[in-house]
Amino acid sequence: MATDTPSEAGFGEVSRVRGIVFEYLSLGASVAGLLALGILLVYVAVDAFDLANASPEWLLTYFLTLVVPYLGFCLYSVGDPTVTRRAVAALGGGLVAVAGLFVGIETFVSPIPRLNWPVAYLFVVVIPLTAYLTYVGNQGRVGAVGLGLIGRAVGGAAVGLAVGTLFLVFDQFVWFLAYTFGVFPAVALYVYARRSPSSRAATAAPVVGVVGILLAVFARETISTYPSDLLIFLWTIAIPVAVVGERLVTARGGRTAGLLAGGVPLALAVAGGFLAGTVGLPGPDILVVVALVGTAVAVYLQRVIEDGEGLAGLALPVLLVAGPLVGALVVGAWGVPAPDPWLDVGFLTEAPSRNAVEAGLYPAIVGSVIIIAIVAVLSFALGVGTAVFLEEYTAETGLVGTLTRILQINIANLAAIPSVVYGLLGLGLFANLLGLGFGTALTVSLTLSLLILPITIVSAQEAIRSVPDEFRRGSDAMGATRWQTTKNVVLPEAMPGILTGTILALGRAIGETAPLIMVGAATTVFSAPNSLFSKFSAMPMQIYAWADFPQPEFRYGVVAAGVMTLLVVLIGMNGTAILLRNRAERGS
Amino acid sequence: MSNTETETKTESDGSDSLITTDVQAEQNDRSAPSTRTAVAARNLNVYYGDEQAIKDVTMDIPEKRVTALIGPSGCGKSTFLRTINRMNDMIDICRVEGDVEFGGKNVYDPDVDPVALRRKIGMVFQKPNPFPKSIRDNVAYGLKIQGFDSDVDARVEESLKGAALYEEVKDQLDSSGLELSGGQQQRLCIARAIAPDPEVILMDEPTSALDPVAASKIEDLIDDLAEEYTVIIVTHNMQQAARISDRTAVFLTGGELVEYDDTAKIFEDPEEQRVEDYITGKFG
Ligand SMILES: Nc1ncnc2c1ncn2[C@@H]1O[C@H](COP(=O)(O)OP(=O)(O)O)[C@@H](O)[C@H]1O
Ligand SMILES: [Mg+2]
């Protein structure tokens, strides 16, 4: 009897209402949050680029000369008619929908400030679609080649500019001496030792390097005449980069290709550097940028051409350069009023000013780049070092174990301390006690390093702990020392996680203002810092100061441009770090 | 101590006489008793905190033979194995008393560097644990950390051949060791262990995580390894111990070494009733 019941009544039903409610509530909350953030960013971008004043004709021109060809390129790379059809439907349908909705809201509800329907269309349809098609286009060979090439060029330029920026503060003469007497001989010795079977030379290399660098630091004061910056950068950066490129390509594609890949960018860089100097542009910076971009592109080109696939992708840079040029010509000939963006070249290269139109962010950008570079190096080295020590070197029991646990709990708590308190600590410790000065690059960098150190330590510990013990035991059983196990097995496995933690922490450091205010960083400086001890400002400080100005041009335009710049730098940094992490993940 | 020394002498004394050749010929024939001791335990006691895991064990393990350690779970087989290459040092609460002799020296002497010791003793674990590196880098790991730079590729190839893996992976030496099947991973771990040419190979239930086919490949391999290395293998599979080992040590609960003899003797006619009960499956 009892066995009959289920077959007649089915199995009954189990209520899932709570789960479903939870699912939709959390989905709704995340969508609402993202939407709010998205709208905010749209307004910031509209202000920064003055899109409210962009005429529909202006937008249409660039849409046709730049966006449509690029989307066509992506679709060509995908090579799937259904995707093309859907993309066209999204563009067309989106146009009707956005325009209709926009006009509807404006007429029946209320006017939408500082937006018009073409701009809304740009943000709601065109930008997301472009991002999506870039993503799927990158899966195809043609798209991957094109975007890879652009990536090499942009990456090379960013590194080059960052190097140039760092030498505003760091002494290039010390670097010149250190390279000539330390780095160069050490590397040469090491390479020589690798070629011939004399391992003595290989062990001597680090010693030679360290001695050379120390020598350089002492010799800096006694030597008084130095080659020009252009020659220094040529000898210490451009030539080594070219040699590395030449080696890479020679190993894959033979001598001729190697010499071309190393030589052509170097020649271009030298020519560019000298010519730029004669017309008043910063020659050394241009030399470094051209050398890095050129070599990265050359090495990439050789590989692509060797593979022989997706060569059409190499046209992408042409497309991206020609599009805006044609657009500018059309706009000029047509006489269409163009928007006047706050975020333009002048904003990035000029000093702050009382006058909103002339205001620039350059000193603050330089300040931020320098702080980030120092903070990244310091917190990465200290954080990973401490995490390795805590995880791999301390005993778990006994007095040491107890001490470690206490330390551990304290580090976790330090991560939760408000940043103002770190500012106070920096003020007391670095500015006053150690006398590093109020608001100097060094004080600020050390304070921010301290601020994010707990986060880097904890996340690095987490990453190290997630490496399975069986790898350690395997390595130990092979007769590896603790250090060899850590270096060869644990750290490579933990590196992606460590990088993720460091990225997040750096993201926090770059946006901080409270500790900067506490240690006395200037809100506004009018020239880029030229030493570690000069007064300087950072992007968030400068933006904060502008937000307080009475003129609305500052509060809307200049602040928006600053925020946009800060975001782009942040995204660029995180993007690079994510690429590095993915590479590390693939490597293991 | 004296034991090992005299035997060393016997060998070196006769090294230029005809008899040596015979002895060596005999050594390759594993049915004959080995003349030399590779590893010896003397009154060995091991404790985890207050708990004793090995109780007064004394045994001589012959060179270039397969010695199996069997016994019920928790009787201290793994602990005993780890005393030989001092992997127990990694366990904070572990304490060792007594001697383990290897190469004419007590490995617990204060002047013995456990890291250097482990370079002479390879170890293979229960769960295959290749590093998340390429096959080549896995095998070359021991060479790398010991600073060998020359002929690395040749030695990698030789070790992979020694572990009967070369034919299967020769075209994918640069792909990750983790992409191999479980049995291949275990053979990769064996290749990794023999690459620096150790004298002894310790194996802790090397086949218990593998399917029967993969396990039987490893068993065949162990047979070959004993030509060149002293193999000490922990297993809870009695058929396996009977098939591959020359000598068998039976541990019973409490870390006691109950009986240690030629494998044939242990499985056919053990002295101890407890051993017979264990082998016939009456307990354990
Ligand atoms: N790391 C350890 N810490 C504490 N006790 C341990 C540890 N490893 C093993 N033991 C104990 O030692 C005894 C023997 O363990 P083990 O050598 O692993 O046995 P087997 O390998 O024969 O199964 C067991 O009682 C076990 O609980
Ligand atoms: Mg065990």
* Cα B78 to ligand 2 centre (Å): 4
The residue behind tokens 């497309």 is A319
Residue B179 has pLDDT above 70, yes or no: yes
Find out whether the beta carbon of B73 lies less than 6 Å from any atom of ligand 1: yes
* Residue B8 forms part of a structural domain: no
User: Is the CB of residue A318 less than 8 Å from the CB of residue A150?
Assistant: no
* Cα B36 to ligand 2 centre (Å): 27
Find out whether the beta carbon of B77 lies less than 6 Å from any atom of ligand 1: yes
CB-based contact A475 B123, cutoff 8 Å: no
Mean pLDDT is lowest, of A308-317, A466-475, B189-198, B223-232, for A308-317
User: Is the CB of residue B164 less than 8 Å from the CB of residue B190?
Assistant: no
Chain A residues with CB under 8 Å of B192 CB are: 474, 478
Is some CB atom of chain B closer than 8 A to the CB atom of A479? yes
**Distance separating alpha carbons of residues A459 and A87, to the nearest angstrom:** 41
Q: Which residue has the higher pLDDT, A43 or A1?
A: A43
Which of B79, B126, B235, B252 has most ligand 1 atoms within 8 Å of CB, for mutation? B79
Interface size between A and B, measured as CB pairs under 8 A: 76
* Residue B19 forms part of a structural domain: no
Q: Which residue of A has its CA nearest to B114?
A: A479
Report the percentage of chain B scoring pLDDT > 70.
87
Chain B residues with CB under 8 Å of A197 CB are: 149-150
CB-based contact A470 B127, cutoff 8 Å: yes
> What spatial distance separates the first Cα and last Cα of chain B, rounded to whole Å?
34
pLDDT at residue number A437: 82
**Distance separating alpha carbons of residues A453 and A461, to the nearest angstrom:** 12
pLDDT band at A521 (very low <50, low <70, confident <90, very high): confident
**Distance separating alpha carbons of residues A463 and A499, to the nearest angstrom:** 9
How far away is chain B from the Cα of A487, in angstroms, using its nearest Cα? 11
Q: What is the mean pLDDT of residues A536-544?
A: 87
Mean pLDDT is lowest, of A259-273, A544-558, B255-269, for A544-558
Helix (H) or strand (E) holding B37: strand B37-48
CB-based contact B145 A480, cutoff 8 Å: yes
Helix (H) or strand (E) holding A518: helix A514-518
pLDDT at residue number B37: 87
Q: Take atom 20 of ligand 1 and give the residue whose Cα is closest.
A: B74
Residue A407 has pLDDT above 50, yes or no: yes
* Residue B20 forms part of a structural domain: no
Q: Take atom 1 of ligand 1 and give the residue whose Cα is closest.
A: B91
* Cross-strand partners of B234: B69, B204
Q: What is the mean pLDDT of residues A565-569?
A: 89
Residue A3 has pLDDT above 70, yes or no: no
Residue B191 has pLDDT above 50, yes or no: yes
Report the percentage of chain B scoring pLDDT > 90.
54
Q: What is the mean pLDDT of residues A494-522?
A: 86
* Cross-strand partners of B140: none
The residue range of the domain holding B147 is 25-279
> CA A1 from chain center: how many Å?
71
pLDDT band at B119 (very low <50, low <70, confident <90, very high): very high
Q: What's the CATH code of the domain at B126? A: 3.40.50.300
Among the CATH numbers 1.10.3720.10, 3.10.20.30, 3.50.50.60, 3.60.150.10, which is that of A362-587?
A: 1.10.3720.10
Helix (H) or strand (E) holding A22: helix A17-48
Residue B10 has pLDDT above 70, yes or no: no
* Residue B103 forms part of a structural domain: yes
Query: Concatenated DSSP letters for B50-94?
Result: TEEEEEEEEEEEETTSEEEEE-STTSSHHHHHHHHTTGGGGSTTE
Instruction: Give the tokens for residue A62.
Output: 């660039």
Q: Take atom 9 of ligand 1 and give the residue whose Cα is closest.
A: B79
pLDDT at residue number A5: 52
Residue A350 has pLDDT above 90, yes or no: no
- On the CB side of A546, CA atoms within 13 Å amount to 30
User: Is the CB of residue B129 less than 8 Å from the CB of residue B178?
Assistant: no
Is some CB atom of chain B closer than 8 A to the CB atom of A225? no
Chain B residues with CB under 8 Å of A396 CB are: 92
Mean pLDDT is lowest, of A304-308, A330-334, A551-555, B204-208, for A551-555
Q: Which of A411, A451, A445 is nearest to A431 (CA)?
A: A445
**Ligand 1 atom, smallest distance to B79 CA:** 17
A66-119 confidence digits (pLDDT tens):
999 999 999 999 888 999 999 999 999 999 999 899 889 988 888 887 788 888
pTM of the prediction? 0.80
pLDDT band at A436 (very low <50, low <70, confident <90, very high): confident
Q: What is the mean pLDDT of residues A528-553?
A: 84
Of A199, A470, A476, nearest to B149 by CB-CB distance is A199
CB-based contact A474 B129, cutoff 8 Å: yes
For the sheet with B51-62, list strands across it.
Answer: B105-106, B94-102, B37-48, B51-62, B256-262, B247-252, B66-70, B230-234, B200-204, B121-124
Q: Take atom 6 of ligand 1 and give the residue whose Cα is closest.
A: B48
Residue B17 has pLDDT above 70, yes or no: no
pLDDT at residue number B251: 92
Report the percentage of chain A scoring pLDDT > 70.
97
The residue behind tokens 């782009």 is A568
CB-based contact B125 A473, cutoff 8 Å: yes
Q: What is the mean pLDDT of residues B102-117?
A: 91
Residue A228 has pLDDT above 70, yes or no: yes
Selected residue of A198, A470, A478 to mutate for chain B interface (largest B Cβ count, 10 A): A478
Q: What is the mean pLDDT of residues A178-197?
A: 83
pLDDT at residue number B33: 67
* Cα B80 to ligand 2 centre (Å): 9
- Residue spans of the domains in chain A: they are 13-46, 47-144, 146-345, 362-587
* Residue B55 forms part of a structural domain: yes
How far from B46 is each of A523, B32, B66, B80, B160, CA to CA, in Å? 67, 32, 24, 8, 35
Instruction: Tally the domains of chain B.
Output: 1
Q: What is the mean pLDDT of residues A338-361?
A: 81
CB-based contact A199 B145, cutoff 8 Å: no
pLDDT at residue number A586: 66
pLDDT at residue number A198: 60
Mean pLDDT is lowest, of A287-291, A400-404, B22-26, for B22-26
Helix (H) or strand (E) holding A155: helix A141-169
* Cross-strand partners of B59: B41
Mean pLDDT is lowest, of A102-106, A141-145, A263-267, A396-400, for A396-400
Of A197, A476, A493, nearest to B150 by CB-CB distance is A197
pLDDT band at B40 (very low <50, low <70, confident <90, very high): very high
How far away is chain B from the Cα of A453, in angstroms, using its nearest Cα? 29
Per-chain mean pLDDT for chain A:
86
User: Is the CB of residue B277 less than 8 Å from the CB of residue B259?
Assistant: no
Chain A residues with CB under 8 Å of B196 CB are: 478-479
Region for residue B268 given its phi and psi (left: phi exceeds 0; alpha: psi -120 to 50; beta: otherwise):
alpha
**Distance separating alpha carbons of residues A563 and A545, to the nearest angstrom:** 12
Antiparallel, parallel or unpaired: β B256-262 and B105-106 = unpaired
Residue A12: helix, strand or coil by DSSP? coil
Q: Which residue has the higher pLDDT, B195 or B21?
A: B195
CB-based contact A474 B119, cutoff 8 Å: no
Is some CB atom of chain B closer than 8 A to the CB atom of A395? yes
Which of B47, B78, B123 has most ligand 1 atoms within 8 Å of CB, for mutation? B78
Find out whether the beta carbon of B91 lies less than 6 Å from any atom of ligand 1: yes
Chain B residues with CB under 8 Å of A468 CB are: 129
